[in-house]
Amino acid sequence: MTYDKVALLFPGQGSQYVGMGKEFYDEYQFVRDIYDQASQWLGYDIAEKCFRKPVFSRKIMHREDLNKTIYTQPAVLVTSYACIRVFEERCRELEVELKFSLLAGHSLGEYTALLVADAIDFETAVRLVQKRAEFITEFSKAYPDAGLMAIVDKKNALGKDFMDELCKDFQVYVTLINTQNQIVVGGFKKNLGELSRKLKKDGKVATVLRVEGPFHSPLMKPAAERFRKELEQVDLRIADRPVIANVTTEAIVDPNHIKKELYEQIYTHVDWKQTIEKISGNGADLFIEVGPKKVLSKLARDIAPEVKRLNVENAASLNKTLKALKNEEGEEPVEGEEEMPEHILPSDEVHTED
């Protein structure tokens, strides 16, 4: 079939894994150049952070650098950018027309979306993301007793009234609205513990997450204020395609609106559910997730199941997507276990920096 309205989706923190981007790095010189350029700006070898396996000792497993926010965020940005560059190059070589009308990224992924929409150049994106990660990490340390908790109810939608009640009764903040059945709240551990016990009695799944801080909550406002000073110093361009914003879920193209979004995003909840609804409501008939894993594709399946889904993260997924765009074979729905994006790791403990 022919796709008339394609939307590109870019993943955020939580999609990282050791070895992401390695196939493209080994095959394409321009991908190695991307990693090398980013390494110069960051001051460390970002390829090494992406590809190095964790170290085991007799007593513990040392968590790889890739799962530390300070490295995770630049790594996911660089890998996602390498993936889209390979995708574009292969489309040109095979004379496959890559037309996309809208873009969106989950939290950190919004920077990749703006980069692809030509609102920001690669160097500026890397430097901003590095500062973002630094400030988030720094100010998270001021709240060692705060964190995030995922709430899942596969039977019932978690509506606005439910979320308002949680915030009022347990003094927590909604930080991510991922689907109608999956949200994340942030706050102090004592309050999260009390909320968890109540939710489990009600038959809902409540999992305290292994994270470095209360991301996307008002507690991160000081980090946002410091980051705003960085935003004021950079020059952005008018985007050549609309990016659906995480906070307002409106299309943004103007530099002033973009800076406001990136500032507010740090301490305001991400509404991914409404973002996907906005894109599908604009007539999108295909989502292509570009970057590590298929987390956003699975969330999109739950929000807008009528929209087809493809992804590009390695050679196999790239070839499958190219064939679908060339009408050589139909794409298959993205299936698998539910995963959580942005800051979420498979653990029931709150992570603090080593």
Catalytic sites, residue numbers: 107, 216
Give dist(CA 75, CA 268) in Å, integer: 23
Query: At 117, is the secondary structure helix, strand, or coil?
Result: coil
Q: Which two tokens stand for residue 110?
A: 């919004």
The answer to whether residues 287 and 12 touch, using CB atoms and an 8 Å cutoff, is no
Give dist(CA 212, CA 34) in Å, integer: 28
Q: Which two tokens stand for residue 79?
A: 């890998």
Give dist(CA 273, CA 20) in Å, integer: 26
Query: At 45, is the secondary structure helix, strand, or coil?
Result: coil
- Give 218's DSSP letter: G
Quick one: which of 31, 14, 30 has its CA closest to 22?
Answer: 31
By DSSP bridging, strand 308-312 and strand 205-208 are: unpaired
Q: Which two tokens stand for residue 348?
A: 């029931």
The total of other beta-carbon atoms located within 10 Å of residue 180's CB is: 15
Residue appearing with tokens 């008018």: 238
